[in-house]
Amino acid sequence: MPFIKTARALVADPVINIRDWNTLYSNFSNSSSFLKIAAKADKSIYLLSHCTIMSSVMVEDDPNDYFIKPECSHLVNNNDDAWTNEVLKLSHKSFVGAFNFVEHFQNSKFAKGHILDAILRKINVASGVWVYLVDILVATDLAHTQLIDDIRSGKVKYLSMGCVTDLVICSFCGARVTDNGNYCNHLAFQKGSFLNDENGVPRRVAELCGHKTMKNGGVKFVEASWVATPAFPGAVKRNTVMEEWIGPKTPYTTASAESDKESKFAKAASVSEHEDLMLEMSEIASKLK
Report the chain's mean pLDDT, rounded to a whole number: 75
Structure confidence at residue 157 as a pLDDT band (50, 70, 90): confident
CA–CA distance, 29 with 36 (Å, rounded to integer): 9
Mean pLDDT, residues 239-243: 46
Predicted local distance difference test score (pLDDT) of residue 10: 52
* Phi, psi of 86, deg, nearest 5: -65, -40
Higher pLDDT, 8 or 174: 174
Most confident of 88-92, 151-155, 225-229, 271-275: 88-92
91: pLDDT confidence band, cut at 50, 70 and 90?
Answer: very high
Judge whether residue 202 has pLDDT over 50: yes
Query: Residue 103: pLDDT above 60?
Result: yes
Q: What is the pLDDT of residue 162?
A: 86
Where in the chain are the domains? 3-288
Torsion region of 266: left, alpha or beta (phi above 0 gives left; psi -120 to 50 gives alpha): beta
pLDDT for residue 254: 32
Task: Answer with the residue of higher pLDDT: 82 or 229.
Answer: 82
Q: Are 170 and 205 in contact (CB under 8 A)?
A: yes
pLDDT above 90 covers a percentage of the chain that reads: 37
Beta bridge partners of 139: 48, 114
Worst-scoring range by mean pLDDT, 9-18, 62-71, 167-176? 9-18
Confidence class of residue 26 from pLDDT cuts 50, 70 and 90? low
Which residues are CB-neighbours of 131 under 8 A, at least 6 positions away? 55, 56, 57, 58, 72, 75, 85, 122, 123, 125
Q: Is 60 exceeded by the pLDDT of residue 6?
A: yes
- Which residue would you say has higher pLDDT here, 5 or 86? 86
Answer for the pair 66, 174: CB distance below 8 angstroms, yes or no.
yes
CB of 223 within 8 A of CB of 9?
Answer: no
The residue with greater pLDDT, 180 or 27, is: 180
Residues 6+ apart with CB under 8 A from 288: 33, 34, 36, 37, 96, 97
pLDDT of residue 46: 87
Q: What is the mean pLDDT of residues 121-127?
A: 92
Distances from the Cα of 35 to the Cα of 3, 167, 220, 270, angstroms: 29, 31, 20, 30
Which pLDDT value is given to residue 241? Answer: 44
Lowest mean pLDDT across 41-50, 81-90, 166-175, 202-211: 41-50
